[in-house]
Amino acid sequence: MTAIPHDDHAHHGPATGLWRWVVTTNHKDIGAMYLWFSFAMFLLGGAFAMVIRAELFQPGFSLVEPEFFNQMTTMHGLIMVFGAVMPAFVGLANYMIPLMIGAPDMALPRLNNLSFWILPFAFLILVSTLFMAGGGPNFGWTFYAPLSTTYGPPSTVFFILAMHIMGASSIMGAINIIVTIWNMRAPGMTWMKMPLFVWTWLITAFLLIMVMPVLAGLITMMLLDITAQTSFFNAAGGGSPLLFQHLFWFFGHPEVYIMILPAFGIISAIIPAFARKPLFGYASMVYATAAIAILSFFVWAHHMFTVGMPFAAQLFFMISTMIIAVPTGVKVFNWVATMIGGSMTFEVPMLFAIAFVVLFTIGGFSGLMLAIAPVDYQYHDTYFVVAHFHYVLVPGAVFSIMAGVYYWLPKWTGHMFHEGLAKVHFWMSFIGVNVAFFPQHFLGLAGMPRRIPDYPLQFANFNMISSMGAFLFGLSQLLFMFIVIKCVMGGKKAEAKPWEGAEGLEWDLPSPLPYHTFETPPKIK
Amino acid sequence: MASSTHDKTPAYYVPESSRLPIAMAFTLFLLAWGGAGVLQNVSGIQQNSSGVWILSVGLVMFAATLTVWFTKAAREHMAGLNSEQLQESYRQCMKWFIVSEAMFFAAFFGGLFYVRAFELPWMAGEGAKAATGMLYEGFEYTWPLLTNPVPEAVPGPQEAMHWTIPLINTTLLITSSVTLTFAHHALRKEHRASLKNWLLATIVLAVVFLGFQAYEYYEAYAHLGLTLDSGIYGSTFFILTGFHGVHVIMGTIILIALYFRVLKGHFTGPDHFGFEAGAWYWHFVDVIWILLFFVVYIF
């Protein structure tokens, strides 16, 4: 029998210096790294968005070449989806799920660290394509073939392989989360006692395991079309560009829910805490989440109403899409019902949560409009679509992440954040996001197509307003960074449970958290 | 609270730190970066001379890191560090990994289904989107597709792949699943000699399968004109059988590693997760083949 290195046995503190972060197996370290990485990507993707909005500030080619503009829209989308939103939720899962279920760590701690460290390398490759001959990906974040295969830049192979390792990271992370929840709950933590954040992540991890491999298969076909002249997406050889879109959206639509289900979990933790009432309809929340996840596999072609599908298919996808509004409506109803009659206070996490409920619902409604096939013929590929998904992703997913960060920041750092500055951050973000994206509805309805660097004069006013909102929103995120760093450095000492109405195992632990928690499982009442 | 101990549940083994993850992440970086360079070079998209070196270093590091990682995991287990709960984590992890693998193949099966059930009939002027046929005058849908919609641009294969060798291969793989199950039963009953023999038989069957598969590819390229660039029939044929073949190679490597562990006296009747995981993987590869045999070769 070979001896196991000695340091593996003892459970003392972390290694010192930067090396600690490289070799760590601790879920809190890894969660923190995910969150910082995500924030860095958020700023980078945000910088690209600023380039887009600066170019669109007024008509005409004023700032960048159209070719570079295309790379900016593509990279903005890819980085925000795969680099900012997804890793942020995985980071929150890493940090919070073991605390919420009373587990000592994630199920497979080394695999966990691998999942994280793949990401910086993957994004290094992805971002470096911008500096390669022919430029980076310029075909939109959906990388439709044949635009990305026949007409893509030479760097497309680098893009594909970066996506491959990023996908591997997601799959490993998802497996880890699902096994942690399934196998590591403290005795007495039954399924229906789990916090909703844990429930939503269980279902999200399932979605990830189901669809990330499909994305891997799809980009493998792309790779072969590019390098080995296969005909998957080439009609001349009997393939079909539509095959690309079907496979992409079979991945892409569940992916959309991957980016919003954990948000539902966060909001379902925060609203009861500040309404000082238990969540209304806990069980229905669980079933609604599961229903949304299952339905998400049957709605993908609503992204493709205009490609020339049979009418029967359009009808099917239109109806299945609308059915999703039912479980989503259950959720919104439950959040509102939780607030009704509660003794509400409006600390910063709650402000973000309420803004989430209102603005996400607006995004949901525009989604319903887009789901109506005959109407979608008009809206398809216009700024209306841009407005819709930015409403569900920015004041939806991103606001929920910020709400979660403010909610758990005292627990992580042991300090309270500066409430006044955080309120300024909230209001700047709230105003910025609406000024940026609400006018885009009007632009889209009036016929402005998405992904263009120039536009006719009649769109000038709304574009200028939208750009100003975007700049305000972008600026306010620097304030967010300042608030978080200030809170990490110091501040008023946080109690174990800084929010009066907060529920959950994590609040039984001291703030800041000790390096190892729940080494023996807690007893759940 | 953390202090309220629960005596029955043993502590979960959390390694303090590990250099393996960063080594593997860096390895994947080399594989992706080098692989992309090699693909650019081979396909003539762009000159790239450094790719092949980066990829080679990546491959060596990949083999080394995986070996060290699995060796370490096995040693930890044999040192008694892994509680029953941790072993359950490993089992569940493997099951979900296989689910993800199944979905990887689902993308290719789904692609084949879409092309055959919808796209090609439409291009031949049949079905709900028959108007598509106007673009491809004279195109007729047959499967295997030997004449592509635009044969001047993408010439089709001369002949389709026959099902005799695949039938032999199906027999080989099903037999290998049976022999592996015999090995598994022998392990449960602690019949070490029988375990070794059945495991060896499985490995031999796997290698023979790969031999036939290589011969079939040679035939396809040398005599049938069935190549990657011969249209959608060749594309789907090679992506399905190719990725299956890659999985057989990985499965064979796993079986060989298991064989050497058996020789070293690893695994006991009640405790043999490594073996079990390898067996699950092998049966999974077998099931994919049976599906593939019917969809690719027969129908």
> What would the two tokens of residue B17 be?
């730190």
Instruction: Identify the residue among B98, B103, B122, B137 best suited for mutation to test binding to A, counting A beta carbons within 10 A and taking the highest.
Output: B103
Q: Which amino acid is at A278?
A: P
**Are A158 and B75 an interchain contact pair (Cβ–Cβ within 8 Å)?**
no
pLDDT band at residue A519 under the 50/70/90 scheme: confident
The residues, ordered by sequence, that sit 6+ positions from B78 with a Cβ below 8 Å of its Cβ are A1, B266
* Residue bearing the bigger pLDDT, B15 or B206: B206
Q: Which amino acid is at A93?
A: A
Q: Which amino acid is at A476?
A: S
* Residue whose entry in the numeric block shows the structure tokens 């110091």: A490
Q: Return the number of other C-beta atoms located less than 10 Å from residue A234's C-beta.
A: 26
Return mean pLDDT, chain B: 93
CATH number of B85-298: 1.20.120.80
Nearest CA in chain B to A183: B89
B226/A300 Cα distance (integer angstroms):
33
CA distance A523 to chain B (A): 7
Closest CA to A105 of A25, A20, A172: A25
Q: Is A508 a catalytic residue?
A: no
Question: DSSP label at A132?
Answer: S
Q: Return the number of other C-beta atoms located less than 10 Å from residue B5's C-beta.
A: 12
pLDDT of residue B240: 97
pLDDT band at residue A4 under the 50/70/90 scheme: very low
pLDDT one-digit tens code per residue, B78-93? 998 888 999 999 999 9
Q: Which of A23, A125, A213 sits opposite B18 (nearest CB)?
A: A23
Closest CA to A173 of A21, A34, A14: A34
The residues in B 22-51 lying below 8 A from A, measured between CB atoms, are 22, 24-26, 28-29, 31-33, 35-36, 39-40, 42-43, 45-46
> What would the two tokens of residue A211 be?
């669809």
Closest CA to A71 of A140, A125, A173, A12: A140
Instruction: Enumerate the domain spans of chain A.
Output: 26-508
Q: Is the pLDDT of residue A2 over 90?
A: no
Q: Cα torsion for A151, A152, A153, A159, to the nearest 10°?
A: -170
Query: Three-state SS for A16?
Result: coil
pLDDT band at residue A180 under the 50/70/90 scheme: very high
Q: Which residues of A touch B14 (CB under 8 A)?
A: 11, 25-26, 104-105, 109, 516
Q: Which of B26, B39, B239 sits opposite A227 (nearest CB)?
A: B39
CATH class of A26-508: mainly alpha
B21 touches chain A (CB under 8 A): yes
Residue length, chain B?
Answer: 299
* Residue whose entry in the numeric block shows the structure tokens 């491999």: A213
pLDDT of residue A17: 84
**Are A162 and B32 an interchain contact pair (Cβ–Cβ within 8 Å)?**
yes
Q: Return the number of other C-beta atoms located less than 10 Å from residue B137's C-beta.
A: 8
* Residue bearing the bigger pLDDT, B44 or A417: A417
B137/B147 Cα distance (integer angstroms):
13
Strand partners, A415: A493
pLDDT band at residue A13 under the 50/70/90 scheme: low
> What would the two tokens of residue A366 be?
């525009």
Q: Which amino acid is at B145?
A: L
* Residue whose entry in the numeric block shows the structure tokens 């660039």: B229
**Are B107 and A308 an interchain contact pair (Cβ–Cβ within 8 Å)?**
no
pLDDT one-digit tens code per residue, B93-123? 999 999 999 999 999 999 999 999 999 999 9
pLDDT one-digit tens code per residue, A228-271? 999 999 999 999 999 999 999 999 999 999 999 999 999 999 99
Q: Is the pLDDT of residue B77 over 50?
A: yes
A342/B231 Cα distance (integer angstroms):
64
pLDDT one-digit tens code per residue, A457-471? 999 999 999 999 999
Q: What's this model's pTM, rounded to 2 decimal places?
A: 0.95
Angle at A242 between CA A138 and CA A68, to 5 degrees: 5
Q: What percent of chain A shows pLDDT beyond 70?
A: 98
Q: Do A160 and A223 touch, CB atoms closer than 8 A?
A: yes
Closest CA to A115 of A216, A20, A218, A25: A25
Average pLDDT of B226-246?
97
Q: Which amino acid is at B155?
A: P
Q: Which amino acid is at A497?
A: K
Q: Is the pLDDT of residue A120 over 90?
A: yes
A338/A96 Cα distance (integer angstroms):
23
**Are A232 and B232 an interchain contact pair (Cβ–Cβ within 8 Å)?**
yes
**H-only helix segments in chain B:** 20-42, 51-78, 84-114, 120-123, 164-188, 192-219, 232-263, 273-292
pLDDT of residue A8: 42
Closest CA to A290 of A264, A309, A271: A264
Instruction: Enumerate the domain spans of chain B.
Output: 17-82, 85-298
pLDDT one-digit tens code per residue, A353-373? 999 999 999 999 999 999 999
Q: Is the pLDDT of residue A421 over 50?
A: yes
A104 touches chain B (CB under 8 A): yes
CA distance A232 to chain B (A): 6
Strand partners, A493: A415
Q: Is A268 exposed, middle or buried (0-12, 13-18, 19+ CB in 10 A)?
A: buried
Question: DSSP label at A5?
Answer: P
pLDDT of residue B48: 87
* Residue bearing the bigger pLDDT, B207 or A524: B207
pLDDT of residue A12: 56
Closest CA to A123 of B25, B37, B65: B25
Active-site position among A29, A55, A105, A225: A105
pLDDT one-digit tens code per residue, A319-350? 999 999 999 999 999 999 999 999 999 999 99
- Radius of gyration (Cα) for chain A, nearest Å? 23
Q: Which residues of B touch A520 (CB under 8 A)?
A: 2, 4-6, 9, 11
